Amino acid sequence: MNISDIVMLLGGVAMFLFGMSLMGDGLKKVAGNKLELILYRLSSTPLRGILLGLGVTAVIQSSSATSVMVVGFANSAMMKLRQAISVIMGAVVGTSITGWVIALSGLSGEGASAALELLSTESLSAMVAIAGILIRMIAKKKSLIHVGDILMGFAVLMFGMKSMSSAVSGLREDPAFLSMLTSFNHPLLGILIGIVITAILQSASASVGILQALSSTGVISLNEALPIILGIAVGASVPVLISGMGSSTEGKRAAFSYLVIELIRVILFAAIFYGLNAFLHFSFMHTIMNMFSVALVNTLFRVSTVALLAPFIPLLEKLMTVLIRPNPEDEEETGDMNRLEERFLAYPTLAVEQTSLTISRMAQLTQKALSIAIGLLTDYSDKGLESVVKLEAVVDRYEDKIGSYLMKLTGREMTDTQNRAVSQYLRAITDLERISDHALNIAERAQEIMEKKITFSEKGDREMANLKDAINRIVEITFNSFQTNDVESAFRVEPLEQVIDRICRRMKEKHAQRLQKGKCTIANGYVFNDLISEFERVSDHCSNIAIVIVELTDNAMDVHEMSGLLQQQHQHHYDEYFEEYTSLYLKKADRAPEAST
């Protein structure tokens, strides 16, 4: 085998992979998003899951693509692990269909009938390519153009297969190749070869195609081919495992289950088959393979092992739960971001609902960060500061992910209510992210107080404690009403925000007086003033979030109109709430003696 043959072989592999990708994408586009909906809605039982996985994989010509899709559903908590495992098992069987398509390229040759000659690689590829390009040139509808893509993809695939077969045709007389084949008699080595090739190509179909091309030399027996087929099954798990990286615990379990299923299938089949062969010495082990026999053996292996494993899907689910333990901290902080799957964008109702749940989690993390930060002012710890830093970073990720997702959603056709919700959600995540920023600033001020040994007088502590109580109250009301969509509670936020503004203003005035009288050092005063400003901004963002809560239920209006609404509507309640919070916090601040910091 010279350099020209090697280049032709690699070129054939490249054309094969491109053709398979083009054909699969075209088939998927013709089906639209129905495949995802079918997988999501109709995989309720193991048998249905297996049949659906088989059918979808047969259509898109890729078990990896089907499995990656399933990992996405498990990752977003829309599909249970048991459902995912059953669909993956179906995908394992469905990918064998490609081998039968490839076998068509073995129909040509001398002695073939005229009918079979029409199905040969050359004739079939030419006819399909002509039909495909004509459709692409003439068709106006996208669906027909996708059909042209399917035909062109098939033609390219078959051409690539023919190139591979031609490149390896001379190996039948190559002593080095024949000598290498004898090493495949050891099943473990053959399995390893299959794993490596498939892991590199990231396609079981392509690996089977290469094996079928090699079988056209007429020197590969079942003894050499079977271990490679077993290895191909395991190697196909690589792209699925990659897709599971960074997923939630359920997504990782679904991705890893592909590898576990393949390992169990290979070990089970090898133990039974080679165990029997050790005693019975099967005579057919030296049968020379061709393209059809490779496709047959590959199909029998996949169907038989999946049939044996199917009844044990519940046990496989338990096994994955044991093998992959959840990380409570990671799941707590980032798990809900996985709800924002790209494929949900095609269904705005679903996407908006998933976004709402994700923002609710973002709000919880923001509130947690602020609560820890405020606590550090009286009980500082480096661990607490690290927690705030980490939570602030996670909230930033939430804002980026949700914001990008909502911007993509704005390009979809939605109802007025959905459009209004998307607009308000974009505003809400900005305020939530800013509150987390202020939480980090407060935590850093707490660190500064500890490192510089800054102390406030007893009177100064009382002022700050009163402000912290008011902030804790407005945050509690705002975030509870946001997560429960409690509009009545939202109307309590604005009067409390007005009270906090007055408290902050009076604290700053007293602070300025203390500086003039020399009762406060500049160093202590900076920290004191910074904390007042941070708390005041937190209350402002709480007011903005309360406006969002009301807007999501009332008619859309701009921020200024809604701010007026919060004071004008329910005027009696506004006055009542304002008086309540004035008595609780503002009058307490007025009664506090002039404090020194």
Per-residue pLDDT band at 144 (split at 50, 70, 90): confident
d(CA 428, CA 430): 5
* Three-class secondary structure of residue 324 per DSSP: coil
Residue 553 is assigned to a structural domain of this protein: yes
Lookup: tokens for 279:
């005693």
d(CA 490, CA 481): 6
Per-residue pLDDT band at 6 (split at 50, 70, 90): confident
Transcribe 251-298 into DSSP letters. HHHHHHHHHHHHHHHHHHHHHHHHHHHHHH--GGGGPBP-HHHHHHHH
pLDDT at 511 over 80: no
Task: Give the number of domains in the chain.
Answer: 3
**pLDDT (tens digit per residue) in 108-128:** 544 444 555 555 556 767 887
Is there a single domain that holds both residue 278 and residue 171?
yes
Instruction: Output the CA angle 65-66-70, nearest 5 degrees.
Output: 115
Q: What rounded mean pLDDT belongs to the chain?
A: 79
d(CA 425, CA 552): 9
CA distances from 560 to 55, 422, 427, 544 (A): 55, 19, 14, 11
For residue 444, give its domain range.
339-453
Q: What's 561's domain CATH number?
A: 1.20.58
Would you state the pLDDT for residue 368? 93
pLDDT at 432 over 90: yes
Is there a single domain that holds both residue 114 and residue 147?
yes
Is there a single domain that holds both residue 206 and residue 138?
yes
d(CA 384, CA 486): 31
Which of 437, 453, 469 is a domain's end point? 453
**pLDDT (tens digit per residue) in 309-350:** 999 999 999 999 998 887 655 454 555 677 787 767 766 777
d(CA 168, CA 180): 14
Q: Is 208 exposed, middle or buried (0-12, 13-18, 19+ CB in 10 A)?
A: buried
Would you state the pLDDT for residue 522? 59
Which of 453, 486, 519 is a domain's end point? 453
In this prediction the pTM is 0.57
Per-residue pLDDT band at 414 (split at 50, 70, 90): confident
Which of 292, 323, 354 is a domain's end point? 323
Residue 370 is assigned to a structural domain of this protein: yes
Is there a single domain that holds both residue 447 and residue 519?
no
pLDDT at 132 over 50: yes
Please give the distance of CA 156 from its chain centroid, rounded to a whole number.
32
CA distances from 429 to 329, 393, 422, 426, 433 (A): 22, 14, 11, 6, 6
Q: CB of 67 within 8 A of CB of 240?
A: yes
Residue 224 is assigned to a structural domain of this protein: yes
Residue 153 is assigned to a structural domain of this protein: yes
Considering only 95-104, 305-314, 391-400, which range has the smallest mean pLDDT?
A: 95-104
Is there a single domain that holds both residue 402 and residue 464?
no
Is there a single domain that holds both residue 49 and residue 135?
yes
d(CA 526, CA 195): 64
Lookup: tokens for 130:
């002509």
Q: Which residue, chain included where needed, has tokens 């990708």?
A: 21
Q: CB of 363 within 8 A of CB of 436?
A: no
Per-residue pLDDT band at 596 (split at 50, 70, 90): very low
Instruction: Output the CA angle 120-126-128, nearest 5 degrees.
Output: 95
Would you state the pLDDT for residue 477? 92
Residue in 258, 232, 203, 250 with CA at minimum distance from that of residue 86: 258
The one-letter code for the residue type at 385 is L
Instruction: Output the CA angle 331-336-340, nearest 5 degrees.
Output: 140
Residue 486 is assigned to a structural domain of this protein: yes
Would you state the pLDDT for residue 434? 95
Where is pLDDT greater, at 201 or 84? 84
**pLDDT (tens digit per residue) in 208-217:** 888 888 887 7
Is there a single domain that holds both residue 183 and residue 282?
yes
Is there a single domain that holds both residue 59 and residue 204?
yes
* Three-class secondary structure of residue 364 per DSSP: helix
Residue 333 is assigned to a structural domain of this protein: no
Would you state the pLDDT for residue 597? 45
d(CA 81, CA 114): 51
Q: CB of 596 within 8 A of CB of 514?
A: yes
Would you state the pLDDT for residue 261? 93
Q: For the chain, give the longest Cα–Cα distance.
A: 111
Residue 332 is assigned to a structural domain of this protein: no
d(CA 197, CA 17): 13
**pLDDT (tens digit per residue) in 254-304:** 889 999 999 999 999 999 998 998 888 888 888 888 888 988 999 999 999
Where is pLDDT greater, at 291 or 23? 291
Where is pLDDT greater, at 596 or 81? 81
Is there a single domain that holds both residue 438 and residue 473?
no
Is there a single domain that holds both residue 250 and residue 318?
yes
Is there a single domain that holds both residue 254 and residue 364?
no
Would you state the pLDDT for residue 557? 44
Q: Which residue, chain included where needed, has tokens 């996670």?
A: 394
Residue 329 is assigned to a structural domain of this protein: no
**pLDDT (tens digit per residue) in 478-501:** 999 888 888 888 888 888 899 889
CA distances from 102 to 105, 135, 293, 557 (A): 6, 23, 12, 61
d(CA 25, CA 423): 33
Q: Torsion-angle region of residue 45: left (phi > 0), alpha (psi -120 to 50) or beta?
A: beta
d(CA 362, CA 349): 20
Q: What's 375's domain CATH number?
A: 1.20.58.220
Per-residue pLDDT band at 177 (split at 50, 70, 90): low
User: How large is the angle between the packed helices 416-451 and 382-409, nearest 10 degrees?
Assistant: 160
Is there a single domain that holds both residue 48 and residue 152?
yes
Per-residue pLDDT band at 521 (split at 50, 70, 90): low
